[in-house]
A and B are shown apart, each in its own frame.
Chain A
Amino acid sequence: MPKIVIDGEEIEAREGQSVLQAASEHGIDIPHFCYHPRLKVAGNCRMCLVEIEKVPKLQVACGTPVREGMVVSTSSERVIKARRAVLEFLLLQHPLDCPICDQCGECTLQDYCFRYGASRSRYNFPKQRFARLDIGPDLVRDQNRCLRCTRCIRFLRDVAGSEEFCLSERGGHAEVGPYLEKPVTSPFSMNLVEICPVGALTSKHFRFRGRPWLLQQVRTLCPGCSRGCNVIAWHDGRRILRLTPAVNEEVNREWLCNPGRLTIEREQDQLRLEEESPADAVGEAVRALGTIPGERVAVLVSGRLGNEDLYAVAKLAREVLGTRWLATVPVQSDERPFGPLDEPLPNWFIRADKTPNGRGAGEITTAGEHVEAAELARAIKAGEVSALLAFAANPLEELAAEELGEALGKLDLLLAAATHANGFTEMARLVLPLSGPFENEGSYTNEAGRVQRLRQVLPAAGDRRPAWQLAQQLAVGLGAPGWNFASAAQVMAELATKVDAFAGIASDDLGDGGVLLGATGEQAAVETGDSHARVDTDDAH
């Protein structure tokens, strides 16, 4: 444990750390652009130059390992001059049009110029301008704003495993961009929006739609696949405008894939079921179910539902309807290990199972009487059931049984509880709209068995409601006693006592890190947050 002194403060650093890492762990901010705690050190921006006693030249804090007895100054006259010089150099060719730059408010260069820079430029030549280059459907590259810190190059090459960016040309003409000007294909390319410290790489999907300081942030989960990446949903009170990754070391570190980021488009699009048809669909569903013997009603669920929804629907099937025909749609299995994230595999951390709670669906349906999906399909075709209630599931596609459509057409009752219109909602007699993942409180269990908190970002519009509420309305309508859940948390409280795998889990204990199934409450809560110290400018992303 080498002891070093930074700005007069003695700190205990760890062996092998750089001066910058040691400083930031102790709350001393050394400004930097090219350094990123999860990328290889480049040392090219020269912003983190510090003075070290007995070393004649200033040294980059990011690339200088700590040594016992080292005395470092981050604010000597020489350091301040060098830092201002680096900012001046970076601004020579950088446009001074922050108000029309989409990075404004989240720009490291902007922040540092306020903090350390001079307010006047000594450069009186025309600024250099680079040609526009379209690099694909997700990103806008503005080379004029680029600092050549090469974070993007290093992220794609060393972290995401797709070497698509490079430094080309030389000296002041040096450009950062895709090889041979090809569009970027990595499904992780949108991480570059946060990786880039300035507005050189911005999101085509978010650009000019909202100013970050006017948006509200809610930490929740990505519904895109079974990894369960933690996200920040940024909304303006009416719409979610972007998803950005939230740190969870066990799940997604601080990355988020492009399809995950774009789940907000599907969840908020025109095909979303907005209203009930007919006016009293729940009442009609209750009346229809009253005419069919409960044991001849089949219930199909999927991992698109939260743990609480699944429990309530399973309870409806088993205790109210008294049917054995409860099934969950099959989960797409993934042969690649779930983690760790260190070795980029093809598609890296994107999982094959595209439902966020396939694991939870499996755990909850198999905890009591149930059938396999194939068995249910057989029963439908054999006429052994008279009604099918599908919750966030499309039996036409997800039961993967041939000629099922015709068999379904012969049933007495088809009820679709869904967020979006699909082939099955078209043919179902009753369609009940469900609220989506960004409108619900609850939890998902990811593929590794981590139960994580889903938070409501925006309230559901119209009659859209979570599936647990719908199940309760049906149960109450059918005259079942004892259904009085007031919140998803209350459903979870009962779930934890009824399904062994969830024993000891409570909504309020999930925190930001989630809890592993089978782990007892206290040990299971995971520290998330930023275990590696970060400067506040990075946190803004």
Chain B
Amino acid sequence: MTEKVITARFDKPDSHLLSSYVADGGYQALRRALGMEPAEIIEVVKASGLRGRGGAGFPAGVKWSFVPKDVDKPVYLCINADEGEPGTFKDRAIMERDPHALIEGGIIAARAIGAHLAFIYVRGEFREPIRRLNQALAEARQQGFLGRNILDSGFDLEMWVHPGAGAYVCGEETALIESNEGHRGMPRLKPPFPAQVGLFGGPTVVNNVETLANVPHIINRGAEWFAALGCEKNGGTKLFGVSGHVKHPGLYELPMGTSLFEIIFEHCGGIREGHELKAVIPGGSSTPVLKPDEIDVNMDFDSLAKAGSMLGSGAIIVMDETTCIPRVAARLARFYAHESCGQCTPCRQGVPWISRLLERLEAGRGKPGDLDLVLDICDNIQGNTVCPLGDACAMPVRAMIQKFRDEFEQHITQGRCRLGPVPSPWPERSATA
């Protein structure tokens, strides 16, 4: 049985309340961190090998160390709780089940970077997490964990919830900052990077919820303990949200570097009865798909990168042989076309183009050459956009075409899907309507 860190308290009654959290030793890390120099906190987090859980896997301590010292502008912490990557459902669980772990981690991070104002930017649809966060923040404020002179340390911090208004792109850190400022959620051109010029022009660190929820544990139990939980250069455990055609879908906390095969076939009980594995998306919808012969891969940032995919948010989407891959590709492209902010040319024009081509192909009206065209459009988008949203469409679509090209071609040559017609998501309309 592997050690649970983030999810250890999830099943306790009233795990979201301060009393329960404190009874389990909550806010002890904060007391300890307030007695440490900010640079010391950063060193501990660096040594722990904690990498950003939002998808990019950037070392958290290093990110914190980028904030310039002695700036005349206020420093801000933005907590990215805009969990929007299709397939991902880990941050919501933390905010609902253990919001104080996030808040405590946030306070420690703010202390480390010298921020006195922190925002939790929460996806607008997350009504319940927003309610629980606000409740937890009120409790923390009342107990003196937030506000002026926290626990007599002389450190001040306020933390607010900022609900988003429903845009996937606001999970991108600079779009999140724009939206947090009250503007239209559009990614900013970099440089400057948020660590120099971020929220309201001040140096800003944007950290994912899961990343920060790990921080109190690192402070309490030490960097070495944390690093040892995971694998090389990937400290700690990781939350894996497994969905799709497995016997036991759900949220699993496992050490960094657990093999994908083990997750699917041991922890999740394997593929549903009578079916076989066809494809796995390992880290949320924007990560390149893996075929069954590729799942013997360790689920950490570096191993997956080597395998040509990404750990992303750790959202594992498992598909069995009943899945039409072109249909998946078309659906994903449609999602990204819908969520493109419209700012830059390749994403605004290219992603809807891919979407239309794939939808036409999936409907059996594809033309010879369409696949190469889609691949070329992917090529023309990837790397050429303001933010990674264009890549998020291009990467999975390219991987699906490359790995399941027969299936796409079969749609063109036979004009239909081998798996039968698409079930309509809409109720049947009568012929007279």
A and B from one complex? yes
Interface of A with B (CB < 8 Å)? 41-47, 49, 56-58, 60, 63-65, 81-82, 85-86, 88-90, 92-93, 122-125, 147-148, 166-167, 169-174
Q: How far is the CA of A46 from the CA of B350 in the complex (A)?
A: 13
Pairwise interchain contact B341-A89, C-beta atoms closer than 8 A: no
Q: Which of B167, B350, B353 contacts A170 (CB 8 A)?
A: B167
Q: Which of B67-75, B148-156, B311-319, B377-385 contacts A (4 or more CB under 8 A)?
A: B377-385
Kindly supply a per-residue 1/0 record for chain B positions 381-400, scoring 1 wherever the CB is within 8 Å of any chain A CB and 0 otherwise: 00111100000000000000
Pairwise interchain contact B384-A147, C-beta atoms closer than 8 A: no
- Tell me the nearest residue of chain B to A125, going by C-beta: B356
Q: Which of B189, B348, B384 contacts A82 (CB 8 A)?
A: B384
Chain A residues with Cβ below 8 Å from B340 are 170-172
Interface of A is mostly: loop
Chain A residues with Cβ below 8 Å from B347 are 171
Pairwise interchain contact A171-B384, C-beta atoms closer than 8 A: no
Pairwise interchain contact A44-B380, C-beta atoms closer than 8 A: no
- Tell me the nearest residue of chain A to B186, going by C-beta: A167
**Contact A167 B343, CB 8 Å, known A41-B189, A148-B348, A172-B352:** yes
Pairwise interchain contact B342-A174, C-beta atoms closer than 8 A: yes
**Contact A169 B342, CB 8 Å, known A58-B383, A89-B350:** yes
Pairwise interchain contact A43-B386, C-beta atoms closer than 8 A: yes
Q: How far is the CA of A284 from the CA of B383 in the complex (A)?
A: 80
Pairwise interchain contact B344-A172, C-beta atoms closer than 8 A: no
- Tell me the nearest residue of chain B to A81, going by C-beta: B380
Pairwise interchain contact A93-B386, C-beta atoms closer than 8 A: no
Excluding A44-B344, A171-B351, 5 further A-B contacts by CB distance (< 8 Å) are: A57-B384, A60-B189, A89-B346, A171-B340, A172-B352
Q: Is B7 an interface residue (CB 8 A)?
A: no
Q: How far is the CA of A122 from the CA of B376 in the complex (A)?
A: 11
**Contact A46 B383, CB 8 Å, known A60-B189, A167-B184, A172-B352:** no
Nearest 3 A/B pairs, CB to CB:
A174-B342, A85-B380, A89-B349
**Contact A172 B342, CB 8 Å, known A46-B384, A82-B384:** yes
Smallest distance from the beta carbon of A15 to chain B beta carbons, Å?
15
Pairwise interchain contact B341-A45, C-beta atoms closer than 8 A: no
Chain B residues with Cβ below 8 Å from A56 are 383
- Tell me the nearest residue of chain B to A87, going by C-beta: B345
Q: Which of A167, A171, A174 contacts B339 (CB 8 A)?
A: A171
Pairwise interchain contact A44-B383, C-beta atoms closer than 8 A: no
Pairwise interchain contact B345-A46, C-beta atoms closer than 8 A: yes
Q: How far is the CA of A125 from the CA of B347 in the complex (A)?
A: 18
**Pairs across A and B, CB under 8 Å, 30 listed:** A41-B189, A44-B189, A45-B344, A57-B383, A60-B189, A63-B189, A63-B191, A81-B380, A85-B346, A85-B350, A89-B349, A89-B353, A90-B345, A90-B349, A93-B349, A147-B345, A148-B343, A148-B348, A170-B167, A170-B339, A170-B342, A171-B338, A171-B341, A171-B348, A171-B351, A172-B340, A172-B349, A172-B351, A174-B341, A174-B343
Pairwise interchain contact A89-B342, C-beta atoms closer than 8 A: no
Q: Which of A41, A45, A49, A123 contacts B353 (CB 8 A)?
A: A123
Q: Is B401 an interface residue (CB 8 A)?
A: no
Chain A residues with Cβ below 8 Å from B346 are 46, 85-86, 89
Pairwise interchain contact B191-A65, C-beta atoms closer than 8 A: yes
Smallest distance from the beta carbon of B213 to chain A beta carbons, Å?
31
Q: How far is the CA of A47 from the CA of B385 in the complex (A)?
A: 11
Chain B residues with Cβ below 8 Å from A47 are 345
Count of chain B residues near A, Cβ 8 A: 30
Pairwise interchain contact A82-B342, C-beta atoms closer than 8 A: no
Chain B residues with Cβ below 8 Å from A90 are 345, 349
**Contact A46 B167, CB 8 Å, known A82-B384, A122-B373, A171-B339:** no
Between B189, B343, B351, B373, the greatest number of chain A beta carbons within 10 A of the residue's beta carbon is seen for: B343
- Tell me the nearest residue of chain A to B369, going by C-beta: A122
- Tell me the nearest residue of chain A to B367, going by C-beta: A124
Q: How far is the CA of A88 from the CA of B377 in the complex (A)?
A: 10
Q: How far is the CA of A236 from the CA of B208 in the complex (A)?
A: 64
Smallest distance from the beta carbon of A54 to chain B beta carbons, Å?
15
- Tell me the nearest residue of chain A to B390, going by C-beta: A46
Q: How far is the CA of A167 from the CA of B348 in the complex (A)?
A: 13
Chain B residues with Cβ below 8 Å from A45 are 344-345
Q: Is B118 an interface residue (CB 8 A)?
A: no
Chain A residues with Cβ below 8 Å from B352 are 171-172
Q: Which of B343, B350, B373 contacts A44 (CB 8 A)?
A: B343
Q: How far is the CA of A82 from the CA of B344 in the complex (A)?
A: 13
Q: How far is the CA of A174 from the CA of B339 in the complex (A)?
A: 11
Q: How far is the CA of A203 from the CA of B307 in the complex (A)?
A: 56
Chain B residues with Cβ below 8 Å from A41 are 189
Q: How far is the CA of A82 from the CA of B339 in the complex (A)?
A: 23
- Tell me the nearest residue of chain A to B184, going by C-beta: A167
Chain B residues with Cβ below 8 Å from A42 are 189
Chain B residues with Cβ below 8 Å from A58 are 383-384
Q: How far is the CA of A82 from the CA of B337 in the complex (A)?
A: 20
Chain B residues with Cβ below 8 Å from A60 are 189
Q: How far is the CA of A90 from the CA of B347 in the complex (A)?
A: 11
Pairwise interchain contact B345-A89, C-beta atoms closer than 8 A: yes
Interface residues of B in 208-259 (CB under 8 A from A): none
Pairwise interchain contact B342-A173, C-beta atoms closer than 8 A: yes
**Contact A46 B344, CB 8 Å, known A89-B380, A92-B353:** yes
Q: How far is the CA of A58 from the CA of B341 in the complex (A)?
A: 21
Chain A residues with Cβ below 8 Å from B383 are 56-58
Q: How far is the CA of A199 from the CA of B367 in the complex (A)?
A: 33
Pairwise interchain contact A167-B342, C-beta atoms closer than 8 A: yes
Q: How far is the CA of A531 from the CA of B358 in the complex (A)?
A: 50
Q: How far is the CA of A49 from the CA of B186 in the complex (A)?
A: 20
- Tell me the nearest residue of chain A to B385, going by C-beta: A46
Q: How far is the CA of A57 from the CA of B386 in the complex (A)?
A: 11
- Tell me the nearest residue of chain A to B383, going by C-beta: A57
Chain B residues with Cβ below 8 Å from A123 are 353
